[in-house]
Amino acid sequence: MTRKAYMIGTGIGNLAAGIYLIRDGGFNGDQITMMGLETHGANDGALVKDYEDEYSNKALSNSKGYLAKGGRMLNEETYENLWDLLRSVPSLDHPGQTVTDDILNFDHAHPTHDVGRLIDENGPRIKPNKDNYKHMQFTNKERYLLSKLMLMPEKDEQTLNNISIAEWFASTPGFFTTNFWYMWQTTFAFKRSSSAMELRRYMNRMILEFSRINTLEGVTRTPYNQYESIILPMRKYLEDRGVTFINNRKVTDLEFKDTPLQDDIIVTGIKYEEVDNDNKEGHIDIDENDLVFDTNGSITDSSSIGDYDTPVKENMEYAPSAMLWKKAAEKFYSLGNPDKFFNDRAQSEWMSFTVTTNNHYLLNQIARITQQEPGNALNTWIHSTSLMSIVVHHQPHFKSQKPNGSVFWGYFMYPRRNGDYVQKPIIEMTGKEMLEEFLGHLAAVDPSKDNVANHKQEIMDSIVNVIPVHMPYASALFNQRAVGDRPDVVPEHSKNLAFISQFAEQPFDMVFTEQYSFRAAQRAVYTFLNIPLSEMTPMHHYEKDPKVMARATRTMFR
């Protein structure tokens, strides 16, 4: 019997798993079936979807505006699996090149150098004084605590079980007003309540970036949004090789074989609904030799979308992808604890907004005030009550953008807090009100005599749309956790079930990255196909490089 593989969720992790199965595992495309919905792990939560038709693969027309729920920053030095696998995927835009070529060539031609990284009431923190954004502003005790956290061996991680970053730095509350913390939390979407365990992993894996966190020179950008630059080429690769994509199928449950003491984990069936066919129920028989790859959590699950005149209506649904994981975890003791990540929105929620304009006036004003051109990472207004940041990409960010159109997005880390210029909680604001909140902050730091506030009507007339999105689980992967709360990529005793997401456990690597999903995919495929794990893509360990550590030490005292 021909072995088959079933992917639950069509996000970047399962796409990567499909390519690994074909490239390294000798599978034919017709052995692989991809099943997914946006509500079930699609795109791993950070890529582009259509606002009018959330489940299509099309970008919005310019008459409606574009939607980017969030963004992911790539890194050339530490995304080893991503670059390796995408070297096998042909470019859709440049025949003869690969997706890796596309991205790195673009990035090398447009290197990131953030100037207005932090903005306070006086504008960008670039004046040569103690507040300049290049200074980390640590005290000696804060340096000690951060070093102690980073140098903790991974085998001792259990000492950080359920410990928040706030608890780790409880004796030094000033840590949370340092330039370092303002930059680190908004670059990676940490909160004070986030897991100290995850901060430890980030400090090790991203230590190369620690010394350039102020300019974000290590950020690697794609030519267009990541859906068009990465996801579509990966799908095309798989489709060209005969992989079956079923985009209207929601998997509702897994069936398991009864085994002595329920030790062995063997999937024998998949239950599903066809969402565009009156939710017609169906069933797939799974042979013990077949493979099942589950996206056991998506950070865009249960999102709520508003528009220019309408605030979001909060979706209180438990994350659908995590619900499937939750059902499995109730049957087997070794599958973790999804409630740690999906049952405390206060730890994980934030809101984004995407602005589409029909001219470049607003974009030009942002560039003038922040003193940096589009494409240079992100800007954070550190004194905004809700902690607001914006990201202005190189234009066009979407292939279908008109030459005179602009698109950028921003986010609020604390959407339950009131705005500073619109007196209501961020989560209750319309897209227009979010724009007014942003324009208030922009005008407050505009040094020009012809302040941007004097051109409000001109700006408002240029707006095509402002789309707010509430994501209750946007930072769920950083929630406080204990060792064992995330299942292994291939759990102990699992014969044919793997978890490929930001909520599966693997050593050393860090979540909230495409790299983590790619590596989980490789780990799952190699484990099931008995390819030695020693042959997995080698990873860098910059935390063991004396030169890198010397630069990090100097940065701590900068």
3-state SS record for 14-32: HHHHHHHHHHCCCCCHHHE
Which residues fall within 8 angstroms of residue 115, CB to CB, at 6 or more apart?
Answer: 124, 126, 215, 370, 371, 372, 376
Which residues lie closer than 8 Å to 257 by C-beta, 6 or more apart? 264, 266, 267, 268, 288
Antiparallel, parallel or unpaired: β 219-220 and 388-391: unpaired
Helix ranges restricted to H, 301-352: 320-329, 339-342, 345-348
Give the C-alpha distances (Å, rounded to integers) separating 133 from 123, 124, 125, 142, 388.
11, 8, 5, 18, 17
The pair of structure tokens assigned to 215 is 């300019």
Residues 6 or more apart in contact with residue 163 via CB below 8 angstroms: 195, 196, 197, 480
Asked if residue 114 lies in contact with residue 216, where contact means CB atoms within 8 angstroms, the answer is: yes
Q: Could you tell me the two tokens for 51?
A: 């606002």
Closest C-alpha to 321, from 31, 536, 9: 9
Look-up of token digits 């005790």: 141
Sequence-distant (6+) residues with CB within 8 A of 349 are 415, 416, 470, 471, 472, 473, 474, 475
Cβ atoms of 238 and 29 within 8 Å: the answer is yes
| From 20, 51, 66, 202, the catalytic residue | 202
What count of other Cβ atoms lies within 10 Å of the Cβ of residue 401? 17
Residue type, position 100, single letter: T
**Could you tell me how far CA 191 lies from the centroid of its own chain?**
15
Could you tell me if 196 and 48 are in contact, meaning their C-beta atoms sit under 8 angstroms apart?
A: no
Dmax over CA atoms of the chain, in Å, equals: 78
Tell me, yes or no, if 6 is annotated catalytic: no
Phi, psi of 205 (to 5 degrees): -70, -30
Is residue 496 within 8 A of residue 292, CB to CB? The reply is yes
Rounded to whole angstroms, the Cα distance separating 455 from 264 reads: 66
**Residue 123 is inside which H or E element, if any?**
strand 123-124
In angstroms, rounded to a whole number, what is the distance separating the alpha carbons of residues 243 and 28? 8
- Is 532 exposed, middle or buried, given 0-12, 13-18 or 19+ CB atoms closer than 10 A? exposed
Give 276's contacts (C-beta < 8 A, 6+ positions apart).
Answer: 248
Strand partners, 265: 494
Enumerate the active-site residues: 202
